[in-house]
Amino acid sequence: MKISAFAQFAYRKFGDGFEKKHDSSVDTPWSLVDPAEVRAGYRDYIDGLMLAARSGFDGLVVTEHGQASYDMMANPSLVAAALAYATETENLEVAIYPAGRSLGKSREPVRVAEEYAMVDHVSGGRLVAGFPVGLMYDACINNGVPPIELRSRFDENLELVLRAWRDDKPFEWNGRHSQLECVNIWPRPWQRPRPPVWLTGTGNPATMQIAHEREFGFNYLSWFGTKLTGPRIFNRFWEMADKLGRPRNPYQMGILQVAAVAATDAEAERKYRPHVEYVFNRGPGAIARHKLAIPGGVSVAGLQALMRDPSDMGISDQLRVVSFGKLVDVGSVILGSVDTVTERLTELIKQYRIGNLHLMMQFGSMPRELAMENIALFGKEVLPRLKHLWRDDGFEHHWWPERLGGKPRYETAKQTARAGAA
Amino acid sequence: MAAPIVETKERAIDVGGGRLKLRFKTAGNGEPIVYLHPAGGLFFDPFLGALSQTRSIYAPEVPGTSAGDNNAIHLVDDLWDLVLLYEEGIRGLGLSTAPVVIGQSFGGMLAAELAAHFPQLFSKVILFDPIGLRREGLPITNWMTTPPEKLPALLFKNPEHPAAKAMFTPPPDPELAVKLLSGLVWALGCTGKFVWPLADKGLRKRLHRITAPTLIVWGKDDALIPSDYAREFGDAIKGSRVEIIPDCGHIPQAEQMQTTLGLVQEFLSQGDSRP
């Protein structure tokens, strides 16, 4: 079992009622902000990830969001580079895991390939390379990508990045979204032929299919309530594995989970409740819904599937107003005593065959001290009780760097050629 | 989203060297009119029904918006590509006389682009609240990021207007509602490919090339693209005529159908009075 620390850098001091007046991304007024709090927050955010690295976590997971008050991370390669260097100087054997650069958004895919390759070198081969399509507000509104081109841009950018990493010789690229005379990145990644690659999905079978066919890991984010969505999303992934004749290897599956631990269940609720409400109501939950689902971003078949049965989306349309109790009930957050949290996480991991758990332990309005307390207690008490999961089930981790005990596996030339032709 | 009130026929023309088909819906008999639909796709509304009493309507669908051919949009690269494909398609109809073009909103922009690229293609040009220009200080509302519940007020001066009700009331059959709504959303996505982000794609620099007699009709209370843009179009197209319709939003042909029809009929009956 690989257990990583996941963090987003949120503005922590929005007042009550923020979410009734404002969205948390795109046009959030900067005038609401105390810049000193932002400066202090960046330090706390990186310190929290470093504490996790020192506390025995397997990886440090960061994300990309532009013009977002809930995650001021224009480019996750920036913080990944800082973490790569800092962990290397302390000999911390931890994965640097941007989950990561949005390839539906990026107009500079060669730069993405080069940045990741650089982080891979600085970290000495500890990079895990995440590539989400990206959220529509970010790709389309913030970066001007026509919504209907989001998916094809992602597909082409991914092929270009992979080839830029793989090919020893310079090549020319005559694509729809990039036309380049000479692609020859310096450096190529330290890991050869490439670092492990992870996609992020919300349930679209097409994304799952690519993961299976190309030997990519698959991440799912539990914001929408895993108790509602888990049976659908995870089972869909594993049924597809069966159909394709692939093993149900839990190490191919990752999940983000908001989680908090304290001495008792009651204390956990008392300490963390306001911050849980904050992260959901005023953070990602306060993204304007209509800026996440812009026409063109979802195919006709996808639209019809969602209209007939929106259950894949769980409580996504309630996040701005959802109560603490509901968030706990549907599994959007797992919190409590060491025993409670261990039990809930074990259940989640076993039920859906999850081999990579990304715990979000610093979130919302949480002050520095509380975040550190949460991360340290998880590292000390919960990690040792989860790490053994899947150890004796006979699976290898093909989606993790070799330096960190992984046995990376890559698509064959035939699979690459097939994807290129498609 | 009611059923079309006019019986239409289909005609598909190979364009782009056989790369794809431009699909037309046609109706009526008489002198030809090419009708270019708005961002939400083609709907044969009562306005077109009335026109088709005395004219032939040829209404091409933006690739991808035709039922059953949704992936065709991915075969069109950009606005320039679209303009060339439309010219080929309209030429491919083999009409004996140059048709009049009527374009609504997105279709208005496309009509202006076509008339500017190919000044001989149309005998007359009629634009209803066209998009395509953008000037600082004169904001356009992005319909693609407008919450669905706010669309009636964005498109109609009076969101209670029967035409608004007809447009936004889903049919009782849930499966039909899914089909229509998904088609509408996809049509917005397809047409959005050519206008996103909502900036001037160079039309302002091309409008002077339009030589056909041009009528510009605008709803005075258009909340999507303000009627001040009527003058921008009018000034750029030499000899054009601008008509502002009071008590009217973004879709004059629906919200003030009789007035709009009257203006169009009058304009169609005039000879070319320009020098």
Q: Residue B3 has what pLDDT?
A: 45
- B74 contacts A304? CB cut-off 8 A: no
pLDDT of residue A120: 98
Chain-chain contact of A296 with B146 (C-beta, under 8 angstroms): no
Find out whether the peptide bond into A193 is cis, omega within 30 degrees of 0.
yes
Contact of A300 with chain B, judged by CB distance below 8 Å, is answered with yes
Say if CB B40 and CB B224 are below 8 A apart.
no
Determine, for residues A289 and B186 on separate chains, whether the beta-carbon distance falls below 8 Å: no
Q: Do B74 and A152 touch (CB under 8 A)?
A: yes
Q: Min CA distance, B275 vs chain A (Å)?
A: 42
Q: What angle do CA B18, B21, B26 make, to 5 degrees?
A: 140
What is chain A's alpha carbon radius of gyration, rounded to the nearest angstrom? Answer: 20
Q: Tokens 């975040």 map to which residue? A: A371
- A178/B contact by beta carbon, under 8 A: no
Contacts of B193 in chain A (CB under 8 A): 146, 148-149, 296
The mean of the pLDDT values for chain A is: 96
Closest chain A CA to residue B73: A148
CB spacing of A296 vs B189 below 8 angstroms? yes
User: In the prediction, which pLDDT does B5 show?
Assistant: 67
> DSSP assignment, residue A285?
G
CA distance A124 to chain B (A): 41
Query: Do B147 and A299 lie within an 8 Å CB cutoff?
Result: no
Partners of residue A289 in chain B, C-beta under 8 Å: 147
Instruction: Please indicate if any CB of chain A lies within 8 Å of the CB of B147.
Output: yes
Q: What is the per-residue pLDDT across B23-35, written as a single tens digit (0 to 9) for each?
A: 999 999 999 999 9
Question: Helix crossing, B174-192 with A300-308: angle to 10°?
Answer: 140
* Nearest chain B residue (CA) to A289: B147
List CB contacts (< 8 A) between A136 and chain B: none
pLDDT of residue B245: 98
Q: For chain A, say whether B181 makes contact (Cβ under 8 Å).
A: yes
Amino acid at A416: T
| Assembly ipTM | 0.93
Give the pLDDT of residue B213. 98
Residue A146 pLDDT exceeds 70:
yes
Percent of chain A topping pLDDT 70: 99
The beta-carbon neighbor of B186 closest among A145, A290, A295 is A295
From chain B, the residues in CB contact with A299 under 8 A are: 70, 186
pLDDT at A207 over 60: yes
The answer to whether B200 touches B132, Cβ cutoff 8 Å, is: yes
CB–CB of B115/B84 below 8 Å?
A: no
Check CB contact of B145 with chain A, cutoff 8 Å.
Answer: yes
The residues, ordered by sequence, that sit 6+ positions from A192 with a Cβ below 8 Å of its Cβ are none
Q: Select from B74, B144, B147 the Cβ nearest to the Cβ of A295.
A: B144
pLDDT at position A251 over 80: yes
Q: Report residues of chain B scoring pLDDT below 70.
A: 1-5, 272-275
pLDDT at A324: 97
Chain A residues touching B181 at Cβ < 8 A: 303, 307
B198 backbone dihedrals φ, ψ, rounded to 5°: -75, 75
Q: What is the pLDDT of residues A8-51, one digit of tens each?
A: 999 999 999 999 999 999 999 999 999 999 999 999 999 999 99
Distance CA B54, CA B77 (A): 36
Tell me the per-residue pLDDT of A275-329, one tens digit each, with 9 for 90 and over. Answer: 999 999 999 999 999 999 999 999 999 999 999 999 999 999 899 999 999 999 9
Over residues A155-160, mean pLDDT: 97
With an 8 Å Cβ cutoff, are A297 and B189 in contact?
yes
| Closest CA–CA distance from residue A79 to any residue of chain B (Å) | 30
Partner B, chain A 33-72, Cβ-Cβ below 8 Å? none
Per-residue pLDDT band at A203 (split at 50, 70, 90):
confident
Nearest CA in chain A to B198: A144
Task: Judge: B144–A147 Cβ closer than 8 Å, yes or no.
Answer: yes
Question: How far is it, in rounded angstroms, from Cα A281 to Cα A348?
Answer: 24
Contact B199, B134 (CB under 8 A): yes
User: How near does any CA of chain B get to the CA of A33, in Å?
Assistant: 26
Q: Do B193 and A288 touch (CB under 8 A)?
A: no
